[in-house]
C-alpha cells in the first residue's frame, strides 16, 4: 500500500480556489474531516498551522506536502489539491506551489508517517508525475497518475 492508496475522489480537489497557503490547509483539512468521523477539523487545521510555523512544507518544483500527526487517529489519511495559478508558500526555490499533498498520521506511529512522507516526496519529485498531475483532466485522471507513479515507487518484495 502506498500513501496514494489513501486518496479517494472526495479528497482530491483539482481546482483549488485558494490564493493563500492557509486557505489551502483549511480546504484540504475540511475534505479529510468530512470523510473521517471523529477527526476534528479544527484540531487538524491547528496541527497543520503549527507544523507550517516550524518550517514550510513547500518543497521545490511547485510541490508542498503539508502534514501533521494527531493522537488517536487509526491510520494515515491523505488529500490532494491542485491550483492553476499557484500559491506563495515560501518554497525553497521561490516558485509558486501548485500541487499539495496533505498527509495526516497517527501520533502514536511516527515511523509510518515518516515512511509515507518519504514516498510522497519521492514520487512528486519526479517531473513526469508532476507534469501528468498538472495536465490531468479530472479527479479520476489525477488518481490514476498517482496510482501509476506510486506503484513504481513501491519497494520490491
Query: For residue 92, which phi and psi values (nearest 5 degrees)?
Result: -60, -30
Task: Please give the full DSSP string across 129-147, using - where no structure is assigned.
Answer: HHHHHHH--SHHHHHHHHH
Q: Let me know if 36 is a catalytic residue.
A: no
Candidates 36, 67, 92, 125; catalytic one:
67
Residue with grid cell 490547509, as numbered in its chain: 25
Q: Measured over all CA atoms, what is the biggest interatomic distance in the chain, rounded to whole angstroms?
A: 42
- 78, 101 in Cβ contact below 8 A? yes
Cα–Cα distance measured from residue 68 to residue 134, given in angstroms and rounded to the nearest whole number? 25
Cα–Cα distance measured from residue 148 to residue 12, given in angstroms and rounded to the nearest whole number? 16
- 28, 66 in Cβ contact below 8 A? yes
Which positions are annotated as active-site residues?
Answer: 67
Amino acid at each position: 500500500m502506498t500513501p496514494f492508496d489513501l486518496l479517494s475522489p472526495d479528497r482530491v480537489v483539482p481546482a483549488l480556489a485558494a490564493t493563500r497557503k492557509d486557505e489551502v490547509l483549511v480546504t484540504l483539512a475540511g475534505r479529510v474531516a468530512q470523510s473521517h468521523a471523529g477527526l476534528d477539523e479544527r484540531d487538524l487545521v491547528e496541527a497543520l498551522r503549527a507544523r507550517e510555523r516550524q518550517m514550510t512544507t513547500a518543497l521545490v518544483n511547485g510541490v508542498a506536502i503539508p502534514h501533521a500527526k494527531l493522537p488517536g487517529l487509526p491510520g494515515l489519511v491523505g488529500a490532494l489539491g491542485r491550483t492553476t495559478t499557484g500559491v506563495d508558500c515560501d518554497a525553497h526555490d521561490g516558485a509558486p506551489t501548485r500541487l499539495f499533498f496533505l498527509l495526516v498520521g497517527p501520533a502514536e506511529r511516527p515511523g509510518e508517517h515518516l515512511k509515507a512522507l518519504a514516498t510522497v516526496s519521492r514520487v512528486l519529485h519526479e517531473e513526469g508525475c508532476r507534469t501528468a498531475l498538472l495536465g490531468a483532466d479530472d479527479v479520476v485522471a489525477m488518481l490514476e497518475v498517482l496510482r501509476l507513479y506510486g506503484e513504481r515507487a513501491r519497494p520490491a518484495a
